[in-house]
Amino acid sequence: MENPDLLHWTQFGAFTCYDARIGVRTNDAAVFRRMFDSLPPHSKVMATQKVDWMYSLWVAPRTRSGRRPYHVLYSNEKQYARLREIEQLVDAFERDAQLAVAQKARRKVFVHAGVVGWRGRAILIPAKSYAGKSTLVHELVRAGATYYSDEFAVLDQQGRVHPFARQLSLRDEMKRNAKLGFDELEGKIGVRAIPVGTVLVTKFRAGAKWRPKILTPGLGALELLANTVTARSGQPLVLEVLTRVAKNARILKSARGEAKSFATQLLQQLA
């Protein structure tokens, strides 16, 4: 089990997303279909054996004792997760495949950020996972903004942001992640690239009032760089794109209160 290439795989497929080529293989047809149902947004199936990244999910047979066996997910040649629940491994694949696309995409820069469109321009909210950006994005969409992403801002060389619309992942009162389907979103979904109009550097703080400071383009670029996918941060394209975004956008920094009331307030101010 230490070398996935030595196992007998019966199902193989590949997809491309923003020019990243990702392979998927497993020994179970039903699991294969579930993995392809969990591909990153805007993925397209392709016929190739040459990929940038390979995911392998080994479904173990049931033991004679009747106990549930451990199944294994590999990311390239390394064991990524070993669990009894197939659904948890498919979820792990979904999360990591999005990160693999962010690392391997060509001519695009991926920033950890929530993104919505508002009056032809993007509001970009840089933040790491579990920082509350999905909740804020959800409330902005409910207030009238257009949904682009709750995880990555996909930036091109001109500094425009492209859609990366996946199902929103919202945490409930028990801190468990629950996916919000597009039919439950109560808003529009972006389909075209738009320029970035506002970069919002903010964190939730109970009782906080929105008192934004306008950051310089240099400080704004640093805020974006701190949330850029690390595998690409040393490339010249990254600094070029982030500098262009920061130069052309309004960069606001402040703590904020509850997402619902803040979203309405923000859109009114930006109008």
- 164-181 pLDDT tens trace: 998 877 754 434 566 777
Do 100 and 121 fall into the same domain? Answer: no
Query: Which pLDDT belongs to residue 155?
Result: 97
Do 37 and 158 fall into the same domain? Answer: no
C-alpha 74/C-alpha 54 separation (Å) is 8
Mean pLDDT over 203-227 rounds to 94
Query: Is it the case that residue 102 has pLDDT exceeding 90?
Result: yes
Q: What is the pLDDT of residues 191-200, one digit of tens each?
A: 999 999 999 9
Which two structure tokens, joined as six digits, stand for 136?
């804020």
Domain range for residue 35?
Answer: 4-104
Total tally of structural domains belonging to the chain: 2
Average pLDDT value over all residues in the chain:
91
Query: Which pLDDT belongs to residue 177?
Result: 64
Query: Is it the case that residue 94 has pLDDT exceeding 90?
Result: yes
Report residue 129's pLDDT band, with 50, 70 and 90 as the boundaries. confident
Q: Answer with the one of 104, 126, 160 that is the final residue of a domain.
A: 104
H or E element that contains 148: strand 146-149
Do 132 and 86 fall into the same domain? Answer: no
Q: Answer with the one of 56, 80, 104 that is the final residue of a domain.
A: 104
Mean pLDDT over 70-82 rounds to 95
Q: How many CB atoms are located within 10 Å of the residue 179 CB?
A: 12
C-alpha 44/C-alpha 25 separation (Å) is 16
Mean pLDDT over 43-60 rounds to 94
Mean pLDDT over 110-117 rounds to 97
Specify whether the CB–CB gap between 152 and 227 falls below 8 A.
no
Mean pLDDT over 65-77 rounds to 89
Query: Which pLDDT belongs to residue 184?
Result: 74
Q: Cβ-count burial of 49 within 10 angstroms (0-12 exposed, 13-18 middle, 19+ buried)?
A: exposed
- Of 7, 93, 129, whose CA–CA distance to 58 is shortest? 7
Q: Is 253 left (phi over 0), alpha (psi -120 to 50) or beta?
A: beta
Query: Which pLDDT belongs to residue 262?
Result: 95
C-alpha 138/C-alpha 141 separation (Å) is 5
Do 172 and 257 fall into the same domain? Answer: yes
Do 97 and 144 fall into the same domain? Answer: no
Report residue 131's pLDDT band, with 50, 70 and 90 as the boundaries. confident
C-alpha 112/C-alpha 38 separation (Å) is 20
More reliable by pLDDT, 179 or 78:
78
Do 65 and 47 fall into the same domain? Answer: yes
Could you give the percent of the chain with pLDDT greater than 70?
94
Mean pLDDT over 184-189 rounds to 83
Do 70 and 150 fall into the same domain? Answer: no
Do 158 and 78 fall into the same domain? Answer: no
C-alpha 32/C-alpha 24 separation (Å) is 8
Q: In the Cβ-directed half-sphere of 142, how many Cα atoms lie within 13 Å?
A: 17
| This model's pTM is above 0.85 | yes
Do 9 and 90 fall into the same domain? Answer: yes
Q: Answer with the one of 72, 104, 136 that is the final residue of a domain.
A: 104
Query: Which pLDDT belongs to residue 3?
Result: 87
Do 125 and 99 fall into the same domain? Answer: no
Mean pLDDT over 35-52 rounds to 93
Do 86 and 113 fall into the same domain? Answer: no
Do 207 and 100 fall into the same domain? Answer: no
Which two structure tokens, joined as six digits, stand for 271?
């109008």
| Across 47-56, 96-105, 120-129, 171-180, least confident range | 171-180
